[in-house]
Amino acid sequence: MSQRRPVGVPLKAEPSAELPSSERDTVLEVVRQNRELAGSLLPVLHGIQERLGWVPPRTVPLIAFELNLSRAEVHGVLSFYHYFRQKQPGEHVIYLCRAEACQAQGAAALEAHAKRKLGVDFHGTTADGRYTLEPVYCLGNCACGPSLMIDEELHALVTAAAFDELVAS
């Protein structure tokens, strides 16, 4: 004998019970703002990362549920684009330019120095949680390389000594 589903009870429950309320609220707000866009998944992921600093993997089931996608579809997009972080970043994110113009001005040496100074490779976060080092492939500051950006602040003509000053302050 089959059981009937009570009226008003969804077929699938919203998969958000284990999320911190701030993450749940952020996901729901970003989805609400972008749901009607064609290809809404990318704007949703961008919005979540903009607000949380990353896209916690535990939010994938809720994102999928809200956009009527599979978890695999959301995970596939999230893992395909290197821009999206699936690990919480440090307090500050250092974006080091690796484009040709910066390379011609010594970016490889700056990269080696930054990795040594911070004790991390690209996509890594310092032990104290202060900095995450990320590669980028152009900051649009080609005439003034090597360049880097810390959070939203662009820095030009960065030397090893200038890097040390920036991370010390």
Q: Which domains does the chain have, with CATH numbers?
A: 21-80 (no CATH), 92-168 (3.40.30.10)
Residue of 134, 146, 136 lying closest to 109 (CA atoms) = 146
CA distance 61 to 14: 9
**pLDDT tens by residue, 136-154:** 999 999 999 999 999 989 9
Mean pLDDT of the chain: 91
Please report, as a single letter, which amino acid is at residue 130: R
Q: Quote the pLDDT of residue 18.
A: 79
**First-residue to last-residue Cα distance in the chain:** 70
Rounded-to-integer distance, Cα 104 and Cα 108, Å: 9
For residue range 29-50, list pLDDT tens digits in order.
999 999 999 999 999 999 999 9
pLDDT of 114:
98
Per-residue pLDDT tens over the stretch 46-65: 999 999 999 999 999 999 99
Report the distance separating Cα 157 and Cα 127, nearest Å: 27
Strand partners, 97: 136
| Residue type at position 80 | F
39: Cα within 13 Å, side-chain hemisphere: 4
Residue 42 CA to residue 83 CA, distance in Å, equals 11
In the predicted model, is pLDDT for residue 16 greater than 80?
A: no
Give every CB contact of residue 120 below 8 A, 6+ residues apart in sequence. 126, 131, 132, 133
CA pseudo-torsion sign 68, 71, 75, 76: negative
Query: What pLDDT, on a 0 to 100 scale, did the predictor assign at position 11?
Result: 54
Q: What is the mean pLDDT of residues 113-121?
A: 97
